[in-house]
Amino acid sequence: MQTTDYPFEPYIHEKLSEDDMMRRSKDYLDKMRRRRSIRTFSTEEVPLPIIQNIIETAASAPSGANKQPWTFCVVRDPDIKRKIRSAAEKEERMSYDHRMSDDWLEDLKPFGTNWEKPFLEIAPYLIVVFKKSYDLIEGKKYKNYYVNESVGIACGMLIAAIHNAGLVTLTHTPSPMRFLEEILGRPENERAYLLLPVGLPAERVKVPKLEKKTLNQVFKLF
Ligand code: IYR
């Protein structure tokens, strides 16, 4: 029941048969299961409008009170990419050498990662997602709600849209990420949330052999 004087509009629902729901849910599962995090990129160019469609998909995500507390910065300028790589590697070198625990380093062995991040220069685009814990309008602060949940959901949709477009990415979180705010000159209400290199995979790229948990391990019916 509508309990507000604010405008509502009809929701256009495409009703599917059970057969279609079954087929489409299984097709989507198969498609999403083929997604992998990729760390070795091709330098092949990707048209910007594809990246813009992907970002508009992510920006259609639900958010607390529809505040849409995010900015998606897309970096294709080689000089800025070089700056980001250099700053990220400086942090990552300290993390791998001193900040990460032995258990953490052990857990990362299957992925073969280290402090070097060449993908930050090689991938045609870096998408840097910023979260806004408040909006800043004419110097006044307006609080946003459920910001981490909202931006996390948008990033999930972003990753699905990247995969759907035939591109690959990596959820990269150099830590700490303050350098991204500085390099990209973001306003004081924006904090870096996630960095995703986006492009095509290098030829004959290999990915670690990993298992996902089975349905029984992650699903409980009550
Ligand atoms: N941020 C580092 C370390 C790292 C941490 C986790 I948890 C990973 O799943 C992968 C890497 C890096 O990017 O190398």
134-167 pLDDT, tens digit per residue, is: 999 999 999 999 999 999 999 999 999 999 999 9
* pTM reported for the whole predicted model: 0.97
Q: What is the pLDDT of residue 1?
A: 63
Cα(106) to ligand 1 centroid in Å equals 12
- Is 83 contained in some domain? yes
Distance CA 37, CA 196 (A): 10
**Which residue out of 92, 108, 115, 117 has the highest number of ligand 1 atoms within 8 Å of its CB and is therefore the one to mutate?**
108
- Is 12 contained in some domain? no
- Is 22 contained in some domain? no
- Is 85 contained in some domain? yes
- Is 110 contained in some domain? yes
Counted domains in the chain: 1
Question: Please, are residues 152 and 41 in contact by the beta-carbon 8 Å criterion?
Answer: no
**Which residue out of 113, 175, 193 has the highest number of ligand 1 atoms within 8 Å of its CB and is therefore the one to mutate?**
113
User: Which pLDDT tens digit goes with each residue over 82-120?
Assistant: 999 999 999 999 999 999 999 999 999 999 999 999 999
Number of the ligand 1 atom closest to the C-alpha atom of 104: 7
The residue nearest atom 10 of ligand 1, judged by CA position, is: 108
Q: What is the pLDDT of residue 221?
A: 98
- Is 119 contained in some domain? yes
pLDDT band for position 27 (50/70/90)? very high
- Is 17 contained in some domain? no
Q: Based on C-alpha coordinates, what's the Rg of the chain?
A: 20
Ligand 1 and 52: CB distance under 6 A: no
- Is 51 contained in some domain? yes
Domain hosting residue 112, numbered range: 38-201
Q: Provide the CATH number for the domain around residue 114.
A: 3.40.109.10
